[in-house]
Structures are given as C-alpha cells and as structure tokens.
Structure 1
C-alpha cells in the first residue's frame, strides 16, 4: 500500500468542513460516473477488507510548509493546584488549549511515541505556541425564499445559509497504486462539480495537488503498525463505533450525524438514517487486531435503495498501549 497527501485549494465556499465520509462519498460518485456501479461496489469491498483508508480534511500552512493534525483525546487535566494565582493561570491555559483543534507534526509524533500521554503534558509542551490559529472561517448568509410564479418573496421564509472558507487543506489516502490512480481521476472530475453540500449554487469547487514528503513517510510507519498487531491508535477520521472497541480503555467524544444523499438524478434527495460517530482525534483501543474498529453502515431510508455511510478509522498507532 502507498500513501499520498492530497492538497485541496477551494475556489469557492464549502458547505461544511470536509470529513472522511464526505470525501469518500464524493470520490465514489466520481468513480460511478467514470467507471459505473460495479467499480464502486468493488471499491467498497476493498475498503471493507482494509485496503483503502482516507482521513478527514486538515489544515496546512503552505507558506511555512507546515501540516496540522487533529488534536488527540488524551487523559484529561485534573485540577490539583491550590494557589489561587497559579490556578487562575492554569485555567487560562486550559481555555486556550480547549479551543485548539489541531497540533503540528512534532507534537503528534511525541504523542505517538509515548513521550506525551496526558492533556497536561501536551498543554505544557504547547505553552509557547500561538494556540488560536484560525484555519476555518465560518459565515452565515441571509436568504429569502422566492415564489417562482409571482417572483416575490414568500412571507416568513427568511433563512440563513452557512458557509465555510479555508485557504487550503489536505487529506491522506492509504491504498494500492491502482486505487490511488482512480481517486486522482475522480478528483479531476469533481474539482469543477464540487464536494459537499450546495454544489448546485457553486459551493465546493477546488483545485488539488498530490504530494509525497518525508513527514508522510514517517507517519506511514505508524500506520503500518496497524497491520502488525498494534491495538491502540489515534484516528484522523470519524469512526462509527463497533463492538470491537474497548470503550473503557479508549478516549473519545461522540456526535450524531444525519445527512442527505443524492441517490440519482431521477430521485429526490433522500435522508440517511442517523448514525453515531467518534470524533477525529479519538484514541481507540480495539479488541481484535484482525478487525477494524469502525464500520461501513447501511443507512438506507427505504428498502428500494442502498446507501452506505463510511465510518472506518484512519489509524496512527501508538508505540505504547493505552
């Protein structure tokens, strides 16, 4: 398997931050139009057999050539400071730390190597950094629904539409060379079509570039350990929980997701069934090393269609165990 870093430079707003399931779904749509349904089914089978992994979109500082990664969920800070002044200083640090969603490669590597094991250790390591980098800018735009017959505003149908702006970001794909080539062709098709919601009004357009670098080669070593018996890892993609996760020895945050699916141009938008996700940055311990911690779940709202939701991990394995 090979790894590539795919740099995304949006040329229009995004509907939301791009999670691995949004990226995977978009790539599958591109492949469907290029190669047909059978190829997509084959890809889904490869994914289920741990032959394809994709991360969520993460920020990058292109000028500094600095890639950022999701901040892992570590053992939380327990307040034991008795001095009021020091306690106040510590709480100020904690507030800044909680706002920080991403960390740099050096910080991530120290966590993977077991040098940093708790939130307090990470917070102290990052104390000299500017912890409030703004990678995503979220805005809301007012809209009025229009009656297409009278060409007047419909009474009471005033609403806001959200949009996310990012200068550039990237995601990582681990797969066989043949699949990586297909992903590149799909993205070439998608760059004008768009990724994510509101593509019909111009959202989600982008340019992309495929990168390989030494930092990614180092991360690949932590990824490969996933196939060599490692049980504990940090995920760079949201995970649909399964019984193969040892929840008592994992650290994570949960959220629910219910999205729409454009099943076909011949059908209206369909709403998928709601699913639970463990957020990116979760530190997960799996029970069996020959099974994934996450899953691809059938979220079809009706029997006549087949819609699946991507929820597999993107694992960077810890050298020590949780």
Structure 2
C-alpha cells in the first residue's frame, strides 16, 4: 500500500500555535517581514510550520490516493512533480466536466446558433459540391449554395421495363391489339369525309352522311343518285262513260319523261267489269294523264259512274 512521507506538524488538539485571528491580525509584523532571531514566539513559529506541513501533507496524500505511488521525502521534487501531474489527470479523467465548470462557457454558447436555428445570413459554400443521381435515372450538377440548380437527367438504357412500371401491364391488358382488334362497347373513330376513298374506318356518322348525300326525300319524292321515285294519291272524277281521264302534276320535274302508273283503289265504280288504268301519250317531265277504262271483255256498255280514288307513282331521272 502506498504511503506518504509528508506529515502534518502541530496538528493535534490544543497544539501550541497562535490562533488564526492572531496569526492573521494586521499588527502581526512577523508574518509580513519574517521572524527575527531571538524574538519569535514558539506559538507563531508552530503556526507557520503547521500551515506549510498541512498543505504538503495534503498534496502528498493526493498523489498516494490518485496514483497509488508513494510520496517520498528524499529531498528531490522530480518524482513528486510527475506523480502530482498524474494525480491531477486521474481526477480529470474520472470527472464529467459541466458547462458551468468552464468560465464564461454558458455566455459563449448563448451567443451561438442552435443546430435547428436559422442563420441570419448565409453566403455560398467555400467549396462547391456535386449533387449526383444514380440508378434508373442519372445526372449531376455542382451546387455552391449561391442559387438554385437544375439537374438534367437521363434514363439508363433498358433500365425501365413493364414490370418496373406500376400499373402498366394492367393498362396494356385493357387495350386492343393492333392486329385484328376485337372491340366491345361503343368504340369511336374519326369521321371521314364522304369523298374519302381510302381504307379508313367508316363510322355510323360517315354512313349517315354518305346516305344523306346519296339519298334524300321530301313528301312524295325519294331521290337516289339522281334517280327519282315520285308517288301520291288522287281521285279521278266520274265521266259517265266507259273511260275517265285524270291529269297529275309531278311533285318535282323530271329531266326526261318518266315511267308512271296508276292503280285504282276500288273497281266498284262501273256496273260491268273492273276498272283498269293506264297512262296515255300525254306523259311529260312535269305531269302525266291517267286513263281509267272498263276492263277488256266487259264491252263498252258499262260507264264510270262515280269518282275513282287511285294511287300513282312515277320513276325516272
């Protein structure tokens, strides 16, 4: 066990020493100037020696306690100094220093920014740094903090695939194939002009427009590529003879004389035989005359005694 050679002097109770007040008194000139031969009291000398011995004993004991080395009184100080330094380091190494232990440290920290605080002003970085992207997308740009930057990116070849794109496969599955697609529902397509003569799809709107350009109608008239079918109803007045005539004006003029026909609605207008109709030679581009006769074989003794309702039609260009 380490020991100390440095012991206290005159430290026992009731020791022959000056009191602290007498030793510290301003009138104690011996403490200020030192003792003179033949005048020093034993109490004063003992007080002085005790104060010196207590300090030396305390320092020596500190060395023993903190380093485990002996404090040897061999008349030299080198070993004592080394061991004293080690004792201080041992004390410092075993102690957590508080902010309050450091002079002015609290005030200095209060004047600094916290890690989450914003600086009142900032300048650009002393050394610019490069920001780089890697992986599916690559690109880089230098940044020094003086302004915003933009990074031009490039997608790596073959980096993307259907499997890596969320929802793409499901979206593709919902699409029709380019080769012989099978549509469902009500698909749409651009409507071509009626003059189109290509392999483009024909929509219902195209078919209707084409039909309307080829076929038109108005009351009593159907037009197909310039060909006209005209029709109507009329009544031939009774003639009191075996023949009756009725002239009809076409709804629209033909370019040339049409073919026309009249059909009697009933044949009860003659007492003998049915009534038949034909068109005489007065058929023109604007009108036609229908003749109603008693049927052949009935003789000419029958007469048309009442009006004859009939339907007519005319066909031509």
- The structure whose residues are more often strand, as a share, is 1
Above 0.5 in TM-score?
Answer: no
- The structure whose residues are more often helix, as a share, is 1
Choose between structure 1 and 2 for higher RCO, CA contacts under 8 A separated by at least 6 residues: 1
TM-score normalised by the chain length of structure 2: 0.14
TM-score normalised by the chain length of structure 1: 0.13
